[in-house]
Structure formats: structure tokens, C-alpha cells
Amino acid sequence: MRPLLAFTDAVDWLTEQIGQTMKWLVLFSSLISAGNALVRYSLHTSSNAWLEIQWYMFGAMFLLAAGYALKYDEHVRVDVFFSKMSPKTQAWVDVFGGVLFLMPTAIIITWMSIPIFLNSYRIHEYSSDPGGLLRWPIKLMIPLGFGLLALQGVAEIIKRTAIALGIREPGKAYERPVQ
């Protein structure tokens, strides 16, 4: 189990780096939005490219930070019964949920979105809006985001299995680093 937990540490590190990077996209997207509004209302001009880059950044933030949300247990969960369970039972529920629901969904979406991205890249697909951007960069975010989510999902399944088997303490799975 020790090598598997070392693997989870590496995945957690990668996820942390991506999550911290996505925080900058929030700032850049906000600045672009404010700048675009300022130009639109003061100079009475605008560009679809500026609108689309905001959408692309939002999509990238959402897709690439999904593993980060999973790492910190910040994903949506129906907590009615879960909160009443012991930490070991919660860990087993997370293991089975990860294996039966998260992993198949993440893997299928990753697999099925790769040809969509490749086709968009091959034909140099552009937005149909005047002045729009290339579409393949945002289409790349789908397999990349779900692939990273699957990777973090494997790490979470390993960590929860360690908790369920009593190898790891329950609090270790969700701890945020001190900043």
C-alpha cells in the first residue's frame, strides 16, 4: 500500500499545482470581462474574441479544477445519510462510488471527447461568430479535464481504501495545506 500512497501524493501534488493555476484564470477572466465592458460602453466597440476567451477560461477553470474539488471533497454530495456514517463507512461509500460511478463516467467522457477534439484540431475549426476563436483549444479541455479528474479519482479511491482498511487516518484525505 505504501507505493500506492506515494502515487496518491504525486497525483495530489499535480492536482494542487493545477488548482492553484486555475485561480489565476479567475483573475484574468475577471480582468478581461471588466476591460471588455469598459471598452464596449466607453468606446462603443467590442469583439466576439474577448467574449469567447472569457468563456474558454471559464470552461478551462471548471474542467481542469474538477480534480482539485474532488481532492478537497468539495464536490456535490447528498449528505443526508453520509454524515451519520462512521469515517470507515464513509470511506467505503467513497470507494464504491468512485469505482462504480466516477471512474466509468470520467473514462467514458475522456475517451469519447478525444475524437471530437482531434477533428476540431484537424479541420482548424473556428467559432461561427465574426471574430471568433479557434475551437480546438477549448475542446481539448474536455478530455484533459476529465482525464485529470479520473487520475485524481484513482488517487481518492486508493486513499479511501487506506482509510477503510485502517492504514490511514480519516482526516488526512481532505486536509488543505496551510497557506
In the chain, % helix, strand, coil (3-state, to 5) comes to 75, 0, 20
The torsion angles phi and psi of 74, rounded to 5 degrees, stand at -100, 5
Q: Rounded to whole angstroms, how far apart are CA atoms 112 and 130?
A: 29
User: Which H/E stretch holds residue 4?
Assistant: helix 2-43
pLDDT at 79: 76
Burial environment of residue 149 by CB neighbours within 10 A (0 to 12, 13 to 18, 19 or more) = buried
**What mean pLDDT is predicted for residues 113-135?**
95
The torsion angles phi and psi of 131, rounded to 5 degrees, stand at 75, 15
Rg (CA), the chain: 20
- pLDDT tens-digit readout, 16-44: 999 999 999 999 999 999 999 999 899 98
Residue among 52, 6, 55, 18 at smallest CA distance from 144: 18
Domain boundaries, the chain: 2-173
On average, the pLDDT of the chain sits at 91
Predicted model pTM: 0.89
Per residue, the 3-state secondary structure of 25-46, as one string, reads: HHHHHHHHHHHHHHHHHHHCCC
Q: Which range among 13-17, 18-22, 81-85 shows the weakest confidence by mean pLDDT?
A: 81-85
Amino acid, single-letter form, for residue 100:
L
179: pLDDT strictly greater than 80: no
Q: Rounded to whole angstroms, how far apart are CA atoms 95 and 133?
A: 41
